[in-house]
Amino acid sequence: DIQMTQSPSSLSAFVGDRVTITCRASQSIGSFLIWYQQKPGKAPKLLIYAASNLESGVPSRFSGSGSGTDFTLTISSLQPEDSATYYCQQSYSTPPTFGQGTKVEIK
């Protein structure tokens, strides 16, 4: 199975800050990388697919980059509603695997 490792596990930042979350795969997955946002008590929401493609309706302050084994989710200007846990997932091979999550809090 492909292991997905996110860092950091949690972070706290001010509104307006630039926030970066990293996801590393244990082997190359091309661009088969997805980012989800999950708020407490809610289902995950698709943010980014194919490593860098923004899902329709997702604010443009979210962006994704990377290929192979190293990927990044960036929030260019953190907003209060971005407080959530973010997960990466590889869709390169079965079983699909998720990172452990990064909890983003607002200072």
Partner 1 sequence: EVQLLESGGGLVQPGGSLRLSCAASQFTFSSYAMSWVRQAPGKGLEWVSTISGSGSSTYYADSVKGRFTISRDNSKNTLYVQMNGLTPEDTAVYYCARGQYCSGGSCQNDYWGQGTLVTVSS
Residues that bind partner 1 (CB under 8 A): 32, 34, 36, 38, 42-46, 49-50, 55, 87, 89-101
Q: Which is nearer to partner 1, 68 or 96 (CB)?
A: 96
Question: What minimum distance in Å lies between the beta carbon of 57 and partner 1?
Answer: 11
* Through-space distance between the first and last CA atoms of the chain, rounded to whole angstroms: 37
Q: Which is nearer to partner 1, 45 or 61 (CB)?
A: 45
Are 64 and 76 in contact, with CB atoms under 8 Å apart? no
Which of these, 49, 50, 48, 81, lies nearest to 62 by C-alpha position? Answer: 48
The residue whose two tokens read 């995950």 is 44
Question: What minimum distance in Å lies between the beta carbon of 49 and partner 1?
Answer: 5
